[in-house]
Chains A and B, each alone.
Chain A
Amino acid sequence: MIRARERAFMLTGGVVVLLVAGSHILRARGAGASDDMGADLARMRGVVASIPMLRDSLRDRRRVWSGVSGRLFAHHSVNGAMADASRYIATAARLSSVEVRSLDVVADSVRHGVVMITLSLTATADIRGVVGLLSRVERGDHLFGIRSIGIAQPSIAQPGSMAEALSVQLKAQTVGLIGNAP
């Protein structure tokens, strides 16, 4: 049978052990939370300290982007951008007296708000029309790249009085800007 004094001693010892253990647990937990918070704070300080540098970089790149974005077919949808691009090519062909036989437009998937639009054109034209079309496409307001071009003269031996009819196959690629500008 445990005496009252022994019981009090055991009770006090138990309370002390619980206090020490609880303190250790709380301290460890607090130290872990403090470490996490300190790491977060250090990361935030680093990010905040780089604000001037970020501002300069962003200003420079936006300046570059503003020079480029005006040459893209901007629209809120891919189909709209495709329509704009095909309309541009068709207008250039008409202004160059190029007879368009077919015009296919294909678009890639959108990445970072930008989409690649490929136009395949089959047309008939004389050499001036071909040169005019290439000039309007390559030196126009919009960003175009000629991926391939095929020019064939079907009847080399025709009389000089007949109109020249070159068969032209042109594949051009341009860039569409979808949605808001970055």
Chain B
Amino acid sequence: MTVTIGMSIDRTGAWAVVSRHARVIAEARVEGSSPAESAAVALERLGMTTRRARALHVAIGPGWSRTKVLTGLPALRAGDLEQLVRENGSRFFIMPVGGGHIAARSTRNGTVGECFDASVVAAVSQGLHGRLPLDIRFVSCASALAALVGDGTVTYTESDATYEMVFAGGRVAAVRTSHPDQARGADDRPRARDAAVGSILVKPADHPYWIVRARPAQVSRRRARVAAALACAAGVIALASPLAASWSQNRLSGMERRSIERAYRTARGMISSLNAVSASLEVIARFERHTPPPTLPLLASLTRALPADASLVALSADSAGLSVVTLSDRAVDVLAALDSCGAIVEPRLAGPIRPELVGGFTLERASFTARWSGRP
């Protein structure tokens, strides 16, 4: 798909754009260089976007061009008319010091003649030579703006000079400059303006208008308000979104909490019951742990173990152990019998063995102690 390159060159530098279907797809601006260098650098900066370009329109700034409507010319074909004007250029224009490059073209409102600074045209042609297979067409920026504006006034600032261009019926009616060195006759009265300026550029193929960009790029009040409103909305969203997320999370948590609260209460009740039952069971278990072995089997095994001639005078048993007092023929036989009793361990004499007269017989009274073995 072919594209068109438009370039504006004036005393401030060069500005080049690539357009396709009346849309700028790339642009490059070079400031403060010579016309040849700025044109070459600008074209180079456009890069690969220019590889399908077939035409290059170069608009020369008002400092290096003159534009006027030519009257009194005979009705000739376009080529002949341009040749006529070029051959009699000094009759139509005050020629620049380095010579003039004359061009003329017919419009609906008459013939428009343009005179460019020949050195600038040569420099630009030389700077662009061989870079692209381009058909270079020069036009004055005033003519370009006239095609776009139709009727009205445009202030064009170039370097330290300001030009006021007056258009009427799609052609240049007057160009006035405020720079004292740029005075060009009766219709060039200085008239500076503070207004923003236009910078031209490219006339796309099959498009009736020139693309013009305002300079400096001022943002309209409405756009600024919209941008401010959008920024405020973005700020509010940025501030509110975490709060909203937290609120949403809390709400979901609350819903889930309500849904499981009943089950949670049931579980808490079960835990409480379990703790109560466990505590009561622990009390019972502790009671059984600290209860001595059953007394009855122990007494039975003890009495079975004692010798037949031994009498049990007293018996005392508690959790610590056992103490018995016996009367027998020989106390050592009782001690041996106690030692053979499986229910007790470590039987020993707890005091002296005293002889005692009972029913005409002399018996030995002895006290013994022992510990429970834990086995019945």
Contacts and interface: CB of A to CB of B under 8 A. Distances in A.
Interface in B255-269: 256-257, 260-261, 263-264, 266-268
Nearest to B317: A149
A57 interface: yes
Interface string A1-44: 00000000000000010011001001100110110011011001
A65 B264 contact: no
A102 interface: no
A51 B358 contact: no
Contacts of A171: 318
B313 A31 contact: no
B359 interface: yes
A48 interface: yes
> From DSSP, what is the main secondary structure of chain B's interface residues?
helix
Contacts of B279: 111-112, 182
A44 B277 contact: no
B276 interface: yes
B295 to A, nearest CB: 5
B316 A148 contact: yes
B292 A65 contact: no
Interface residues of A, number: 55
Given A51-B270, A147-B292, A153 B313 contact: yes
A131 B315 CA distance: 14
**Considering residues A57, A64, A112, A150, which has the most beta carbons from chain B within 10 angstroms of its beta carbon?**
A112
Contact of A134 (B253, B264, B292, B296): B296
Q: Chain B interface residue count: which class?
A: 35 or more
Contacts of B253: 34, 37-38, 41
Interface in A41-96: 41, 44-45, 47-48, 50-51, 54-55, 57-58, 61-62, 64-65, 68
A26 B247 CA distance: 11
Contacts of B278: 61
A131 B243 contact: no
A157 interface: yes
A175 interface: yes
Contacts of A40: 257
B186 interface: no
A148 B257 contact: no
A27 B281 contact: no
B315 to A, nearest CB: 5
A26 B243 CA distance: 7
**Considering residues B254, B263, B271, B281, which has the most beta carbons from chain A within 10 angstroms of its beta carbon?**
B281
Contacts of B288: 143, 145
A19 B280 CA distance: 60
Contact of B280 (A50, A54, A65, A134): A65
B284 A175 contact: yes
B273 interface: yes
Nearest to B323: A150
Interface in B143-166: none
A113 to B, nearest CB: 6
A116 interface: yes
B280 A31 contact: no
B98 interface: no
A182 B281 CA distance: 10
A151 B264 CA distance: 58
B319 interface: yes
A44 B255 CA distance: 13
Given A23-B239, A138-B294, A182-B276, A47 B287 contact: no
A45 to B, nearest CB: 7
A20 to B, nearest CB: 7
Q: Lowest 9 A-B CB distances belong to which pairs?
A: A145-B291, A148-B318, A182-B276, A112-B279, A30-B246, A23-B239, A152-B314, A150-B316, A54-B270
20 contacts: A23-B243, A27-B243, A30-B243, A41-B253, A44-B260, A45-B260, A47-B264, A47-B271, A61-B278, A112-B276, A112-B279, A113-B280, A116-B287, A134-B299, A145-B287, A147-B318, A152-B314, A153-B312, A156-B327, A182-B273
Given A58-B274, A145-B288, A151-B312, 18 more contacts: A16-B235, A27-B243, A30-B243, A31-B246, A34-B246, A41-B253, A44-B261, A47-B264, A138-B295, A145-B287, A146-B291, A147-B291, A147-B318, A147-B319, A148-B319, A151-B314, A152-B315, A153-B311
